[in-house]
Structure formats: structure tokens, C-alpha cells
Amino acid sequence: MRMKDKIGIVTAAGSGMGRAGAIRFAAEGASVAVVDLNKEAVDAVVKEITDAGGKAIGLSGDLTSDAFARDIVRQTVKAFGGLDFVWNHVGTPGPASIEGLDWKDYDFAMNLNVRTVLVTTEEALPELRARGGGAILFTASTSGIQGSQFSPVYNIAKFGIVGLVKGLAKRYAREKIRVNAVCPGPVDTPMLRVFVARPDSQMPAGETPETLVQKRGGQVPFGRPARPEEIANAALFLLSDEASYVTGVALPVDGGATA
Ligand SMILES: NC(=O)c1ccc[n+]([C@@H]2O[C@H](COP(=O)([O-])OP(=O)(O)OC[C@H]3O[C@@H](n4cnc5c(N)ncnc54)[C@H](O)[C@@H]3O)[C@@H](O)[C@H]2O)c1
């Protein structure tokens, strides 16, 4: 058991990589708070974990609310008695061009990609400190380490997350709080379907979301998108004690896209 007796939070855990991570961490012995906007999805993930003998609570709400982004920490500590790790996974692709940009879309993308994870992290730090250390993982993207011609706001946000990770890693190293980012390339989740179907993203016209996802995956050296579990494996490593000397890293899990 690689996460025996750890207590943690996974945001955007109702689907995709977050769901895969929550289920995996619980199978490895962690008590997990499953956080997502979609209550039905939260309930289903919690049921899957508890049916398998694991420990989980479900917290459904909108993480663009500062109150909810903080409350998930309080609720987790109340339910399980502490906090050892947080996977700040929630995020959104944002607009595909700055020309004709609707600033409401900009604000929404910056809120969900940056502000909310900062709020949760601020609330989590004293709890991690109280346990004598811990681990925080952010989901950036390959768009946090290289340019993406169709994701200007996402680039700003995810480069920002990588910068934040490096700063926080140095700031909290002496308190044994490790801070890292995972940087996925295309991953076969509902979000990738949204990403490739955005107006202006210049994917071929007349395709279904399914064929667009395969085409987008075909652009990376592995020739396919990642499965959510492949990102969850990297998250497991970075959040577990196996990564005890790893902090400030933005780890690409991208099928060679940034090689
Ligand atoms: N899928 C990809 O190709 C890809 C690649 C790189 C990075 N990412 C990053 O991964 C993260 C999400 O990834 P995914 O592909 O696993 O997503 P997904 O589409 O499978 O799931 C996203 C989940 O987020 C939840 N959510 C959306 N808005 C929310 C809010 N305001 N409050 C709480 N929950 C909310 C949704 O209900 C959904 O369950 C984002 O940070 C994204 O930028 C995705």
C-alpha cells in the first residue's frame, strides 16, 4: 500500500484523471475527499471506492466559489482528522484565441485554473504543517511548459501554475511540504473533447469529437492520447513518500510531446 493511512483531497474527481487518481489513491490505502461540481459523479466515485473497501467522502460544489474551495479542506479534516496531500486537479481549457476574446471567458479560465487552486492551497498549508509535512500536486499541462498556438489563456494559467509550484516548493521545503505539478499532454477525457471542439482551435472540420480526440492524440510521438490512469500513476508517485526527495518539479506525462 503506497498511501497507507494518508488523508487527501482530489478536485475534479468526478471524471477523467481526477476520478482515476481518487480511486487509485484509495486502493493504495488513502482516505480520499472526492470533490467535484457534479454530485452524481461524486456519489458514483465514492460508491466505487467504498464498495471496494476503501475510505472516501464526497464533497460536491463549485470550486470557483472561494468559500467552497476553502471548505473542502475543513470538511476533509473534520471527516478524517487531518490532511496529508492535495491534488489540485480542477481546470478548464479557456478560449482558443485572443482575437475577439470575451473577457468573461478570460476571467472564468483564470479563476478556475489559478485562483481556486490558490485558495484551496492557502487553506491546506496549515493543515499539512500540523501533520509535520505533506504533498501538494497541481495539474498543469504541456501548455504550462511550451507554447500552444490555440490556448493563449490556458498558456498564461498553466505557466503560472508551474511558476507557483517552483516558488512554493522552495518556500515550504524546510517544512517538509513538497509541491509539484504533473503536465499531461492530450488525455482521453471529456475535457479533451471540449478542447478540440472549441471554435478557432483549427482542428479539421466535419469530424466527430471522437475522431478529433484520436487526431489530437496522433499529433504526439506515442500516436495516441493518454488514458486517465496513466496520469494518475504519475500523481500517485508524486504524492506518495516514494517521491520524498522530489519537489518543484513539473513532470511531463505526455507521450513524448515535449521531448
Ligand atoms: N484532458 C486533457 O487532455 C488535459 C491535458 C492537460 C491538462 N489537463 C488538465 O486536467 C484537468 C481536468 O482534467 P480532466 O481531463 O481529467 O477533466 P474531465 O473533463 O474528465 O473532468 C473535469 C471535472 O471537473 C469538474 N468541474 C468542472 N468545473 C468545476 C468546478 N467549477 N468546480 C468543481 N468541479 C468542476 C467537472 O464536473 C468534471 O467532473 C484540468 O486542470 C485540465 O487543464 C487536461
Q: Rounded to whole angstroms, how far apart are CA atoms 69 and 73?
A: 8
Pairing of strands 85-88, 7-11: parallel
CA of 132 to the centre of ligand 1 (A): 30
Take atom 7 of ligand 1 and give the residue whose Cα is closest.
141
CA of 6 to the centre of ligand 1 (A): 24
Provide the pLDDT for residue 75: 98
Take atom 42 of ligand 1 and give the residue whose Cα is closest.
91
What mean pLDDT is reported for the chain? 96
Q: Is the pTM of this model over 0.95?
A: yes
Chain-centre distance of CA 186, in angstroms? 14
CA of 64 to the centre of ligand 1 (A): 13
Residue 168, Cβ density class (10 Å: 0-12 exposed, 13-18 middle, ≥19 buried): buried
Provide the pLDDT for residue 210: 87
Provide the pLDDT for residue 125: 98
**Closest atom of ligand 1 to CA, residue 154:** 43
**The three three-digit cell numbers of residue 34, written as one number:** 472526492
**Tally of CA atoms within 13 A in the half-sphere of 58 that contains its CB:** 18
CA of 138 to the centre of ligand 1 (A): 12
DSSP 16-84: HHHHHHHHHHHHTT-EEEEEES-HHHHHHHHHHHHHTT-EEEEEES-TTSHHHHHHHHHHHHHHHS---
Catalytic amino acids? 154
**Closest atom of ligand 1 to CA, residue 18:** 16
**Domain range annotation of the chain:** 7-185+228-253
Residue 147, Cβ density class (10 Å: 0-12 exposed, 13-18 middle, ≥19 buried): exposed
**Closest atom of ligand 1 to CA, residue 90:** 41
Q: What is the pLDDT of residues 42-82, one digit of tens each?
A: 999 999 999 999 999 999 999 999 999 999 999 999 999 99
Provide the pLDDT for residue 198: 84
Q: 7-185+228-253 has which fold? A: Rossmann fold (3.40.50)
Q: Rounded to whole angstroms, how far apart are CA atoms 205 and 50?
A: 43
Best CA proximity match to 59, nearest among 68, 67, 47: 68
Please choose from 11, 15, 23, 212 the residue to mutate so as to test ligand 1's pocket, defined by most ligand atoms within 8 A of CB.
Answer: 15
Provide the pLDDT for residue 5: 96
Write out residues in the chain with pLDDT < 50, as ranges: none
